[in-house]
Amino acid sequence: MLCLSFFVAILPVAISSPLAGWVESPGYPHGYDPHSKKEWERCAPSGHSISLTLTHLDIEDSYGCEDDALKIFSGRNLLHNLCGKMTFEMLSSFVNPSLISSPGGCLSLTFNADYSNVERHTGFRAFYSTHDVNECDLGTLCSHFCNNYIGGYLCSCPPGYFLNHDNHTCNVSCTEDRSGSLRGLVSAPGHPDPYPEDARCSYSLLVDAGLQLVLEFIGNFDVQAESNGECIDSVTVKTPSKTFGPFCGDERPGSFNTHSNKAVVLFSTDDTGLNAGFTLVYKVRRMSCPNVVTPNSILTPTVPLYEYEDSVTVTCDTGLFVEHKYEQSFQSKCQINGVWSPVYKCQPVDCGHPDVDDPELSVVNPTQNTLYKSKIRWTCKSEYYKLEGDDVFTCDANGTWTSESGSSEMPKCVPVCGLTEKQVSSSGRIIGGKEANAGEIPWQLLIKSPRGGASLINDLWAITAAHVVEKQNAFVLYGGMVDGQDSNAEVMQSGEIFIHPGYQQGLDESERVSFDNDIALIKLSARVKLGPNVIPVCLPEEGEGTPLNDKMATVSGFGQWEKGKKSQKLRYEAVQEYTEEHCMNTPRTRANKQIVFSKNMFCAGQPGVDSCKGDSGGPVVQPILGSGKADDPYRLKGVVSWGPDCKDRAYKGYYTKVQNYLDWIRNTIKDN
């Protein structure tokens, strides 16, 4: 029989379970019966561990210990799954060394036998015992000295250090309050010898209000840093408004004003290094303020040093303004605590998004910012509009969008006028004239009731003859068509009607002897959508002289054409202006009345060609249809006004000179 002796120490702590003992299988050493079971667990007190020593193992052997088995656990971790027969030497070598718990942990085992064994096995026997743990051997639990005792350990510190509240780390005793001291030195502990490790030093400095602390490092400066300049140990100076540092390395920092009567010098070290530290001189001077009140500004007056009660004008740099004040400058005064007051930020001028109500106007890059010096570029959404005015604007220092020409007026999108997407080259007769194709006269509008014509001059306004609309409050206009019955026509509802104030209204046809100022403007109720078949005609240019300039023009309309019939189709024809003498001397009889010829009229036609009843209010345009181009667009020279009775016609019609009404047209549109 193998005899073992065990030493059990008497512990100075209360333990609820025995400190040592035996655990063995049922029936040991005579052998265990089928279906035998055994469960056991012991836990170590704090500062101790518990171990098992197997002295005997004889359990039915099986593959993977599937039949009979002894399983040993540490907590929930399985340490061994045992079966078969092992000598004490084998157990001592391969099993027992691992059968120990963590400090304060538990060991447990389970033994299970199945229903039968071929031969009888004696089972197992093991001795358990608790042991004091030497925590000081487990690692760096203490920053300096570790003292083990049965059931625990204590940390302690060398002279000059104190144990922190965590009871593990030691700090050097280097916290000082220097309040009231006007001059002195602050040095690393132990200077000039190497400073201690794990130091957390704090030196508080405080002087009277109106004074400021001036700090200067003197002598050798040696504070541990990494090769890349990152601080391992560091010196830092903190004031209520600013932090200086951290400083480290071997390059001595310069002197500096704190602009404060209060500062704390902090010195922090790790647990390595043999560096000499630093020496810092502190003294006082009259309080001064920094030479910058707020970033991105200049101070007036400019002096080397601003002291308590000095006042300055702070002017923001160009393109910046004072927050909340929307001014470029403000006044500030140096206070007794070394700070300026008041202090405002200089923030960038923001022009904001331009306020435009033109639905066709669009910014090319809408995500662009709106701050000082940013740019925007305008364009028109539709190809049937063109930009009028400058296209590129820059946010200036006054917060205004300004173009390169110096204008702050945003551009407008005005309809493209006087151009067609189709052209014609042959001629015909409006009385018996040629039928127009779609898009050839895209400014032509039809008024079905009362029967007449009109010309679109932009996307909201049209021109017609005053006598067509003088008795009307509202009516419908049709555009974008060459067939008066076209169901796909662009339908436009009239809004306000502006008859020229010089036109004599309210007369019956039998009473009228003058069609002077026979012109009217129609403001549509909504903007018309422009397209290939709906395009305005241009107004005449200033100072063009006579309406047709001895050239051919084109007159168009849905009026009477042959044998008194009103045309369902849009027809056009070329006409030429007659001389004023011709217009005056040929018959001007209408309803048995001699009609007055005025300087606001011209007459035109050619043999076999004329406008007629139902064409009133329609356009006379130049150049002749089919020859318009971008640098010579179609312009509205005349409005079909009146003509002699058919028996006296001589193929001659009278037209209102649009040239004479440009100011009235533009002012009416502008004011309405």
Binding residue ranges for Ca(2+): 60, 68, 114, 116, 132-133, 135, 148-149, 152, 233, 270
- CA separation, residue 305 to residues 242, 282, 286 (Å): 19, 20, 11
Residue of 157, 335, 178, 331 lying closest to 265 (CA atoms): 178
- DSSP E strands: which ranges in 306-433? 306-307, 311-316, 320-322, 329-334, 340-341, 346-348, 361-363, 375-380, 385-388, 392-395, 401-403, 412-415
Residues 6+ apart with CB under 8 A from 472: 450, 494, 497
Buried b or exposed e, range 157-192, using 16+ CB within 10 angstroms: beeebebeeeeebbbbebeeebeeeeeeebbbbebe
Binding site residue list = 60, 68, 114, 116, 132-133, 135, 148-149, 152, 233, 270
**Which of 419, 416, 413, 415 minimizes the C-alpha distance to 380?**
413
The set of residues, in sequence order, having a beta carbon less than 8 Å from that of 578 and lying 6+ positions away, is 602, 603, 604, 605, 652
Concerning whether 121 is annotated as a catalytic residue, the answer is no
Q: How far is the C-alpha of 408 from the C-alpha of 411, rounded, in Å?
A: 9
User: How far apart are the two ends of the chain, measured CA to CA in Å?
Assistant: 126
Q: What's 660's DSSP letter?
A: G
**Contact at 8 Å (CB) between 553 and 577?**
yes
CB 74 within 8 A of CB 101: yes
**Which residues pair with residue 335 across a beta bridge?**
none
Place of tokens 């197992």: 124
DSSP state of 66: -
What amino acid is encoded at 85 in this protein?
A: K
Number of H helices and E strands in the chain, helices first, is 4, 50
CA 155 to chain centre: 57
CB 306 within 8 A of CB 237: no
- Our CA angle for 526, 528, 532, nearest 5°, is 180
Catalytic residue among 459, 518, 610, 615: 518
How many Cα atoms occupy the beta-carbon half-sphere of 566 within 13 Å? Answer: 18
Q: Is 364 left (phi over 0), alpha (psi -120 to 50) or beta?
A: alpha
| CA 7 vs CA 18, 88, 96, 129, 348: distances in Å | 14, 20, 17, 9, 84
Asked if 127 and 20 count as a contact pair (C-beta separation under 8 A), the reply is: yes
Give how far the C-alpha of residue 231 lies from the chain's centroid of Cα atoms, to the nearest Å. 38
In a 3-state reduction of DSSP, which class is residue 380? Answer: strand
Can you tell me the distance from the alpha carbon of 516 to that of 222, in angstroms, rounded to the nearest whole number? 104
> Residues 467, 494, 567, 610: which is the catalytic one?
467
Task: Let me know: does 104 contact 15? Beta carbons within 8 Å.
Answer: no
Report residue 666: phi and psi, to 5°: -70, -40
Q: Check if 494 is active-site.
A: no
Residue in the block written with tokens 């004239």:
433
| Residue 469 DSSP code | H
What span, in angstroms and rounded, lies between the C-alpha atoms of 306 and 301? 10
Which tokens hold the place of 153?
Answer: 């350990």
Q: And the tokens for 396?
A: 């200036």
616 carries an active-site annotation: yes
Are 655 and 601 spatial neighbours (Cβ–Cβ below 8 Å)?
A: yes
- Distance CA(444)–CA(556), nearest Å, equals 8
H or E element: which one contains 664? helix 662-671
Residues recognised as catalytic: 467, 518, 616
